[in-house]
Amino acid sequence: DAVTVTDQLRRKDELDKIGGPAFIARLQTAVPVASRVDYYADIVEDSALRRSLIRAGGEITNLAHQTDEELDYVIDNAEQTVLGVAERRVGDGLLELSTMLKPALESIEALEANAGQITGLSTGFRDLDGMLAGFQPANLIVIAARPAMGKSAIALNIATNVAVNGGVVAMFSLEMGKDEIIQRILCSMGRVDSMKLRAGQLSVEMWQKVTNAASRLYPAPIFVDDSSYTTVTDVRAKCRRLKRQKGRLDLVVLDYLQLMQGRNRENRQQEIAEISRNLKNLARELECPVLAVSQLNRGLEAREDKRPRLGDLRESGAIEQDADIVMFIYRDEYYNPEAIESKGLAEVIVAKHRAGATGRVEMNFLPEYTLFADLTRHPAP
């Protein structure tokens, strides 16, 4: 007690020797008390994190001296080391199951209250959203097809739909350049014949459609990288930067997976498996869906029924294993051009859905606009 201690020291004529009543007051505030334990814990945690940063700095220095490693690999590992420290600051590590039950039950109640509604990121296609409930965070979604089926078109349609509705989208195109991508988006949004646009044969009405589409597209937060040589390390670094700048990232699109480069180049199957696994890890790290376009093996062309199957995924079964959703695009019109009943129709075959149903969704496909649309929609030319 400050009063009794001060009185006792004054009686012994020692109060002035230690600094007077002011020192006693300072001493009282300096003594740790149980009521401030949270504050003291923060100090301990802060010091521990600073020591972790010092260790991380040492690890990064050692990485930088490893001249036998590729620079991109070193930079990626340096970023992961620093991010690991940041994650320890907010991460809980191992959690007891009982602590997770309440939020899990609350989540289930919320799903029940919103039964039938989209719980993830809308693709912009009603029937597809109805089957998938949208793209879920941290999911790896693969869209695969043979050439000319429209796999790049539907991926670009989904990316555009998300961005026009305010979602931040990062698109990595290893096959098409920026100009072709922009032209495709403008044609699909404006319902303008892409052949006439490329041939410079736009009418006044078509030009008006293009400018209207450009006005809608202008504020859409879609970011395009058309580097022909891209690794998952490159994608991760660019997505991390974009997410920091924008504060969020809603969708990552890669077109297409087999054109990406991995570190293991001695065996193509192992390289694709490495890329596939790293894309799944990327989705989890960014906490957003990653949509990857993929090719299919030629073998299905020899079958009577040319609808794709999971075994047709090209070069690696790891894609099937790592993906949360695998979708195939099939257009019977391509193989049977005389069949009137299949003209303008496409099937989106959901062959794998880790968290839900599989099945088929029929859609309209308008190749002149490189546009997919809900089947019940009948767009005018």
Q: Which residues are catalytic?
A: 175
CB atoms within 10 A of CB 178: 12
Q: Is the dihedral of CA 131, 134, 139, 143 positive or negative?
A: positive
CA distances from 148 to 168, 282, 299, 334, 335 (A): 28, 29, 16, 8, 11
The token pair that represents 339 in the structure block: 């069949």
Q: At residue 61, what are phi and psi to the nearest 5 degrees?
A: -60, -45
Please check whether residue 362 is in contact with residue 347, taking contact to mean a CB–CB distance below 8 angstroms.
Answer: yes
The token pair that represents 86 in the structure block: 């940041």
Residue of 221, 226, 213 whose CA lies nearest to 259: 226
Residue type at 46 in one-letter notation: D
According to DSSP, the β-strands at 371-374 and 359-366 are antiparallel
Please check whether residue 83 is in contact with residue 89, taking contact to mean a CB–CB distance below 8 angstroms.
Answer: no
Please check whether residue 256 is in contact with residue 152, taking contact to mean a CB–CB distance below 8 angstroms.
Answer: yes
The token pair that represents 54 in the structure block: 């010092």
The token pair that represents 357 in the structure block: 């149903």
Residue of 259, 250, 236 whose CA lies nearest to 289: 250
CB atoms within 10 A of CB 196: 14
Q: At residue 273, what are phi and psi to the nearest 5 degrees?
A: -60, -40
Burial of 309 (0-12, 13-18, 19+ CB in 10 A): middle
